[in-house]
């Protein structure tokens, strides 16, 4: 138990992998770990696509703008929030009229949560067995190209990629926000800027002193930069193309 706790606390992203593929026996366990995660109402609304084709890996790496740590990983998966399986199920049992019920924001939310839990279960198993990982959210830089590349059907949403392999180099562990800033009792609490300022000082030291890609910044500045402009504004267009509906069901009016 203590070993697992230490593994969780030592998490950091790996972007440099040894030239060594993950064996099939380990991949089988990675998938089993992912599938063992919790799932709302046991819907299991996700799919995992292992990418092996070097050309596809190169295209994904270009879309995600992450040179080296997709194609060079020991194994690379794309995690897809997937309600198409359920659409097929409804059609098979002559309930195609019920497909409207899986186009909702709630159904999409369930699928996103299921997918994320599965991925983190896989990550926990990987890191507990000395593998390194890196989530690749950059696949959402061009959802349309990714969907075309993977032949994704309606009612699916590619959330992120996951590179797994044997680390060549590993980033230092980033200090997280103070627990007092994350955990509140009984009701939501406003930001404690005294705590936050202390955290900014800690993260500033981290960015200035880390072994690669040193920066003069801190967590607050990173967040100000991150939210300076809207990101990936075509996501809702893609989701509408995939068949999801962003309206109030009762009034059929757009959600503001």
187 belongs to a structural domain: no
Residue 134 in contact with residue 154, Cβ under 8 Å? Answer: no
Task: Count the domains in the chain.
Answer: 1
* Other beta carbons less than 10 A from residue 73's beta carbon: 29
Of the pLDDT bands very low, low, confident and very high (cuts 50, 70, 90), residue 1 is low
pTM score: 0.93
194 belongs to a structural domain: no
Domain housing 121: 2-173+229-241
Q: Domain holding 110: CATH number?
A: 3.40.109.10
Residue 134 in contact with residue 72, Cβ under 8 Å? Answer: no
- Tell me the residue length of the chain: 256
167 belongs to a structural domain: yes
pLDDT digits (tens, 9 = 90+) for 108-159: 999 999 999 999 999 999 999 999 999 999 999 999 999 999 999 999 999 9
Non-local (6+) Cβ contacts of 20 within 8 A are 74, 165, 166
Non-local (6+) Cβ contacts of 82 within 8 A are 45, 46, 47, 111, 115, 155, 156
Distance in angstroms (rounded) separating the CA atoms of residues 84 and 109: 14
Tokens matching residue 25: 């026996």
11 belongs to a structural domain: yes
Which pLDDT score, from 0 to 100, does residue 144 have?
98
**Is the confidence at residue 44, as pLDDT, over 60?**
yes
Beta strands in 106-155 (DSSP E): 132-136
186 belongs to a structural domain: no
Percentage of residues in the chain with pLDDT exceeding 90?
89
Which of 24-33, 113-122, 166-175 bottoms out in mean pLDDT, i.e. has the lowest? 166-175
């Amino acid at each position: 138990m203590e070993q697992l706790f230490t593994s969780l606390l030592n998490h950091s992203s790996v972007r440099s992998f040894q030239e060594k593929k993950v064996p099939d026996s380990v991949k089988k366990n990675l998938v089993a770990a992912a599938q063992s995660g919790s799932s709302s109402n046991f819907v299991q609304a996700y799919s995992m696509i292992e990418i092996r084709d070097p050309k596809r890996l190169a295209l994904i790496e270009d879309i995600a703008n992450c040179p080296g740590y997709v194609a060079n990983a020991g194994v690379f998966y794309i995690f897809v929030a997937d309600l198409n399986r359920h659409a097929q199920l409804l059609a098979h049992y002559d309930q195609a009229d019920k497909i409207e019920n899986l186009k909702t924001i709630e159904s999409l939310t369930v699928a996103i949560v299921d997918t994320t839990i599965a991925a983190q279960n896989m990550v926990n198993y990987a890191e507990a067995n000395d593998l390194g990982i890196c989530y690749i959210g950059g696949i959402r830089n061009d959802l349309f190209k990714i969907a075309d590349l993977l032949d994704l059907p309606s009612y699916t949403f590619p959330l992120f990629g996951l590179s797994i392999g044997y680390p060549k180099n590993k980033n230092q562990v980033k200090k997280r926000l103070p627990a007092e800033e994350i955990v509140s009792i009984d009701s939501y609490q406003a930001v404690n800027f005294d705590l936050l300022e202390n955290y900014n000082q800690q993260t500033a030291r981290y960015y200035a002193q880390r072994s690669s890609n040193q920066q003069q910044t801190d967590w607050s500045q990173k967040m100000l930069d991150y939210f300076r402009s809207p990101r990936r504004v075509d996501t809702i267009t893609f989701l509408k193309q995939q068949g999801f509906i962003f309206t109030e069901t009762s009034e059929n009016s757009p959600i503001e």
